[in-house]
Amino acid sequence: MRRGNQDFHLKNFKKTRKFFFTLPGLAVFIIALFILIRSLGARNAYEIILSTAALLLWIIIFIAGVWGSKRLGSLEALWRPPLPLGAGSEEDWIVMCRPFHLPWFFRLHFRVRGRFFPQGVMSSAPCRVFAETSFPRGSETARVPLVFPLGGEFRGEGSLRLCDVFGFFSFPCGQSSEQTLKLRSVPTGVKILRIDAMSGSEDKRSKSSSDEERYYMREYAPGDRFRDINWKSSEKIDTLITRISPDNQEKVTRIEIYFRNYGPRKPGIGELWLLDRAKARLAWFLKIVKEEKASFVFHIRASEGSWDLDSEEEIDAFLEELASLSFSPEQNEGIEQAESGELHVFSTACDAGLGGFLLARQGRPTRLFLVQPLKTERSFKESACLRLRDFPLGGVLPPLGCLKSGKRGQINSGGGFAMIDYAEIRL
């Protein structure tokens, strides 16, 4: 289904890029032709000269543009967005092209057109994306100003245009290229968080070594067995030292995470902004916990599946996949309630089943990270604000239906640990 929508949109792009007349160019041609016909009937020499000169200039530019676009038929531009690509980033996209020679009174333009799906929601009316820039005279590099207000997935086409300085024509030239890119959420604010290593689940991993190496020692870490402490060595340096045998299995703390991306089937911009903030808080959590202790491993569950993350590369790959993770309808889940350690739950006010889930987990350690809409109409300094005017300013045009947002109340956190983020929409 997604592939079919993408092919349909790209076919529309290829049709529109063949059109080379601009509205000013058509207006000049029609007006000059009308004045010429009227002046011939009135035998007004002054109007005949002016209208004829305008038409000749129009024809000359047209012929030069057709000739120039054919000469640049094999030209190819490489457009490179800043990676990792994130929403809210004001860093320009770089466009590079091999040396080229242009006719007089012409400039080479690069145009980006496509569809943007906020939070990966594949709706029938996605946001339209349009941005255009020109190569400076004699330069092989240009910058495209394109800013996405929130995370999601972008599918678009980049094409070259040969435009005259008068704005009469825009001829397609060169080879077009298509890209599908995922945009991560805008980073969220930093908050104080303490993770107790003893509260996580235990993940056993075998340690491999050579037959000659009987054991090695390192500094004691939470989760190590007390019987493995080398007390003699610890007394000498006044620090607890743990003896690790290659025949034993080392206990590694595993952090259990449940990302509840449940919400409406047709979300508005308000609901999408809440989901964006929940993703940003999850990305922040993974980063600071991994920085605190590199041996932590994460087990993440969501409505679409589960992930086991150990290394920085695995976390980075997960964040790319997280960018296009959209809302899922509420379902009768059979998630296990028997975790020995804490369960870290990330959710939004769109999650209708969150209250029942928290009630079912009473008596079990649970940490809730919740994103809610701002209750008052006044702006809160610590709330994340999405301004609707940033969409057209960044080259993104959302459909009118997407701007409608359902009324979402605030959810009771249940009295346990809860980190609440607030999000608001402003014009």
Whether pLDDT at 153 is above 60: yes
Percent of the chain with pLDDT over 70: 78
**Angle at Cα 89 formed by Cα 88 and Cα 91, nearest 5°?**
150
**pLDDT band at residue 222, thresholds of 50, 70 and 90?**
low
3-state secondary structure of 59: helix
Q: What is the CA radius of gyration of the chain?
A: 30
Predicted model pTM = 0.75
| Bond preceding residue 267 cis, omega within 30 of 0 | no
Q: Across the beta sheet with 93-97, what order do the strands follow?
A: 77-80, 93-97, 141-144
Q: What is the CATH topology of the domain spanning 2-183?
A: Immunoglobulin-like (2.60.40)
Q: Nearest 5°: phi and psi at 362? A: -60, 135
Chain segment 386-397, per-residue pLDDT in tens: 888 888 888 888
Q: What is the dihedral of CA 145, 146, 150, 156, to 10 degrees?
A: -170
**pLDDT band at residue 425, thresholds of 50, 70 and 90?**
confident
Mean pLDDT computed over every residue of the chain: 80
Question: Can you give the pLDDT at residue 55?
Answer: 93
Question: Can you give the pLDDT at residue 408?
Answer: 62
The whole-angstrom separation of Cα 185 and Cα 405 is 19
Chain segment 289-344, per-residue pLDDT in tens: 888 888 889 999 998 889 999 888 999 999 999 988 888 887 665 555 445 468 99
Give the residue among 184, 154, 352 at the shortest CA–CA distance from 276: 184
**pLDDT band at residue 368, thresholds of 50, 70 and 90?**
very high
By DSSP bridging, strand 241-244 and strand 396-397 are unpaired
Give the residue among 259, 289, 313, 258 at the shortest CA–CA distance from 119: 259
Which amino acid type is present at position 14? K
Whether pLDDT at 215 is above 80: no
Map out the domains of the chain as residue ranges.
2-183, 208-247, 253-426
170 membership: H or E segment, kind and range = strand 170-183
The whole-angstrom separation of Cα 238 and Cα 243 is 16
Across 8-12, 66-70, 278-282, least confident range:
8-12
Residues in the chain: 427
Whether pLDDT at 61 is above 90: yes
